[in-house]
Amino acid sequence: MTMLPVQLAHELEPAVACHRWLVEGLWAEAGVGIVGGEPKCCKSFLALDLAVAVASGAPCLRRFGVTRPGPVLLYAAEDALHVVRERLQGIAETSGTDLRRLPIHVITAASLRLDVERDQAALRETVAALRPRLLILDPFVRLHRIDENVAGDVAPLLANLRTLQRELDTSVLLVHHARKGGHARAGQALRGASELHAWGDSNLYLRRDRDKLWLSIEHRAAASVPALALMLATHGSAVALHVVDSPSSTVLDVVERTPAERVIDALAAADGPLRRRALRDACRMRSAAIGPVLVDLVANGRVVQHDCGYVLASAPAVSR
């Protein structure tokens, strides 16, 4: 029988201070973790903001610096490829970078299953070939057919990703859903087995409180910063998340945005078409107020109305 490799504790390689963070204060260097939250909390927008930051070296959320920029590998299981490109384009523009120059590799396979050995091997080979600094898998629920509530089913998938992280020196980010209406501590509100919460070196949680969007940050081996207020804002055609410096001003900032901007924000954050009632609720506007706004946006070609609802002009209708 072959003995496992061992080393005296004092001989272990010390951490290099400048390599402690992949994104300073936000994500650990070569760490695994989760971006979690209830539906419509901009989880994918935050994951894509991290992708642009790591690939470009520009601060994530225009606030958190990147220690060592490098390639990013992304699999977006729920969004059409053109939607992924549009969102990345907007975040890159907001960050002052050119998407065409960024080493963001998007997996275009129709499916990727973390519980299938063939797909595990293909993912490993892809990571080994591209050597990304960050691997993003969005969302976890679309990447398997196991029972997320059974620890014995979840643990092997997470262990495989941990092995990938350690052997190929890459950070791994899983986008995962939280239970709707959960009021527990952020990590405890994640759907499924508790292994998901315990697995992460860095975990980011998004939650809504009426008009406010809050980001909680949790690290295994470092102090966490207080929760931050965020908002999804448009700049021309670009849509991206921004840190609200004064949380008390969050509601004021949202109210002062034009009705048209609020409608565009809601459609940009949606996974598919929204009917007028859903848009009205998302924008917190009266039916009589949102009607003329939609008419103008459709007339100007910025929004398209389909039988299944309204979408941005660049997004296709989806049958519901």
For residue 256, what pLDDT band results from cuts at 50, 70 and 90? very low
Q: b/e map of 168-178 (b: 16 or more CB within 10 Å)?
A: bebbbbbbbbb
Q: Residue range 101-130: average pLDDT? A: 97
What is the per-residue pLDDT across 58-99, written as a single tens digit (0 to 9) for each? Answer: 999 999 999 899 999 999 999 999 999 999 999 999 999 999
pTM of the predicted model as reported, rounded to 2 decimal places: 0.74
Per-residue pLDDT tens digits for 15-43: 654 448 999 999 999 999 999 998 889 99
**pLDDT computed for residue 212 by the predictor:** 82
| Span of 131-140, 196-205, 239-248 with lowest mean pLDDT | 239-248
What pLDDT shows up at residue 143? 97
Residue 284 banded pLDDT, cuts 50, 70, 90: confident
130, pLDDT greater than 50:
yes
Check residue 148 and give its pLDDT.
93
CATH numeric code, 257-312: 1.10.10.10
Amino acid at 312: L
Q: Is the pLDDT of residue 249 over 60?
A: no
Q: Percent of the chain scored above 90 by pLDDT?
A: 59
Please write the tens of the pLDDT for every residue from 149-180. Answer: 999 999 999 999 999 999 999 999 999 998 77
What mean pLDDT do residues 111-136 have? Answer: 97
Where in the chain are all domains bearing CATH 3.40.50.300? 19-244
The distance between the two most distant Cα atoms of the chain, rounded to a whole number of Å, is 77
Q: Is the pLDDT of residue 253 over 50?
A: no
Q: Are strands 32-37 and 21-23 parallel, antiparallel or unpaired?
A: unpaired
CATH number assigned to the domain covering 19-244: 3.40.50.300
Domain with CATH 1.10.10.10 in the chain: 257-312
pLDDT, the chain, mean: 87
Tell me the percentage of the chain whose pLDDT exceeds 70: 90
pLDDT (average), residues 136-140: 97
- Taking residues 275-300, report their average pLDDT: 85
User: Edge-to-edge strand order for the sheet containing 72-76?
Assistant: 104-106, 72-76, 134-138, 171-177, 32-37, 202-209, 212-219, 228-235, 238-244
Paired residues of 240 in beta bridges: 233
Instruction: Give the pLDDT of residue 246.
Output: 58
**pLDDT score for 236:** 76
Residues 140, 174: contact at Cβ < 8 Å?
yes
Average pLDDT over residues 132-152: 96
| pLDDT tier for residue 307 given thresholds of 50, 70 and 90 | confident
